[in-house]
Amino acid sequence: MRIFSGIQPTGRKHLGNYIGAIRQYVEGQDRGDPAIYCVVDLHATSVTYDPTKLPGYVYDTTAMLLAAGLDPERCILFRQSDVREHSELTWLLASVTAYGDLQRMHQFKDKSARERELVRTSLFFYPVLQAADILLYKTDEVPVGDDQRQHLELAREIARRFNSTYAELLVEPAHRIPAVGARIMDLQDPAVKMSTSAGSDQGLVFVDDEPDAIRSKLKRAVTDPGRDVVRAEDKPGISNLIEILAVIRGEDPARVESDFRGKGYGDFKAAVGEEVVAYLAPIRERYGELRADEGGLEEVLAAGADRARELAEETMVDVRRAMGVGPPV
């Protein structure tokens, strides 16, 4: 089974990134044949960004993935722009992508509303590039957070339309969304997902935050009316913290509720803070060591790109032939 997923190089990674995606990557590298993970720097250019900082963000993200447990000997880890077949397949898949489908993408509506100076065509086209990322490797499974469900369904639709139009070449991927922790919310606004692009610093727990900063952010996390530590629609703040602790402990959220019955919010938030600190400590320490060696990170990415390119070119030979593009092979 081939596993693929991509992650944005948007600077520091937070607890939502780790719980929703990165921990799935680590688990998948022993199930995938192969497991392929991509730092998607081309996607990062679809919104306002600083080109002088993007290369460093790629290294930040690569170091974080390695610190979390990705092993380049057990998976393929590379930078998206190093494999040009991603861009080529994006253009070719545009021939089987409905304009109306792109208009319905929720993330385009949300992100375009935040772009004050220029809404880029690349932001509108983002889901086609994402589909190309996945379909290029004939991916069977994509570990993603809940917010990517719509994009993955579009990738499946694009694969179906390509196969019915040209030839049965592309695989319709299935998503793998964790049952608990698929959508970690902002600590200060639990109605929205934890995100570096939309949240405040106090609403985000960064993986490389110092222990006291983590404790402080959890202590100040927005809670809800009442004192009971239980999940409920009118308790989004407490429900979010329950999910976080359930993931860290590897327990059912109901067990967390049982453990804190009658203890109140203060004790609960303090306990979550301590467990988040312990959970992230080894990753934070390893990250610091890895991030300092940019030459070593570049070697990992280059070696991964060589391996990814071999698989990508196999797909593109078939796609070009089926579409009548380029010289006959």
Q: What is the pTM of this model?
A: 0.90
Exposed, middle or buried: residue 101 (CB in 10 Å: 0-12, 13-18, 19+)?
A: middle
Taking domain 3-176+293-323, whether its CATH number is 3.40.50.620 is answered by: yes
Q: Give the pLDDT score at 198.
A: 66
Q: Give the pLDDT score at 179.
A: 78
Same fold across 3-176+293-323 and 201-289:
no
87-131 pLDDT, tens digit per residue, is 999 999 999 999 999 988 887 777 777 777 788 888 889 999 999
* Domain ranges (residues) in the chain: 3-176+293-323, 201-289
CA distance linking residue 116 with residue 75, whole number of Å: 39
Q: Give the pLDDT score at 199.
A: 65
Exposed, middle or buried: residue 321 (CB in 10 Å: 0-12, 13-18, 19+)?
A: middle
Percentage of the chain beyond pLDDT 70 is: 99
Segments in the chain below pLDDT 70: 198-199, 329
Q: Of 216, 218, 186, which is closest to residue 199 (Cα–Cα)?
A: 186
The two three-digit tokens of residue 253, written as one number: 């959220």
Please name every residue paired with 176 in a beta bridge, in sequence order, or none if there are none. Answer: 143
Q: How many CB atoms lie within 10 A of CB 254?
A: 12
For 328, phi then psi, to 5°, come to -60, 140
DSSP strands (E only) in the chain: 3-7, 35-39, 76-79, 141-143, 174-176
Q: Of 144, 146, 143, 109, which is closest to residue 126 (Cα–Cα)?
A: 109
CA distance linking residue 157 with residue 142, whole number of Å: 15
The two three-digit tokens of residue 231, written as one number: 């999940």
Choices 1.20.1300.10, 1.10.10.10, 1.10.240.10, 3.90.79.10: CATH for 201-289: 1.10.240.10
Peptide bond into 34 cis (omega under 30): yes
Residue 271 contacts residue 297 (beta carbons within 8 Å): no
